Amino acid sequence: MSIIETAKRNELDVYGYMLYLLTVLPKWGADPTETQLKSVMPWSMALPSYCKQTYSEVK
């Protein structure tokens, strides 16, 4: 629940953000680096554009 609420507070598309996390995190295995983890934080500038869309912009 806190991941979803943090995504909302950072004005992300929750579905897009969760999809991104569930796609990327398994590829990194059981021990992702700090840099990798920082890149997927809701405030990261490295997130793909579809994570940053508002609900009305998602098609």
Task: Compare 6 and 1 and report the one with higher pLDDT.
Answer: 6
19-51 pLDDT, tens digit per residue, is 999 999 999 999 999 999 999 999 999 999 999
pLDDT value, residue 54: 66
pLDDT of residue 58 exceeding 70, the answer is no
Q: 28: helix, coil or strand? A: helix
50-54 contact pairs (CB < 8 A, 24+): 50/13, 50/16, 50/20, 51/12, 51/13, 51/16, 51/17, 51/20, 52/11, 52/12, 52/13, 53/13, 53/16, 54/11, 54/13
pLDDT of residue 3 exceeding 60, the answer is yes
Task: Compare 54 and 3 and report the one with higher pLDDT.
Answer: 3
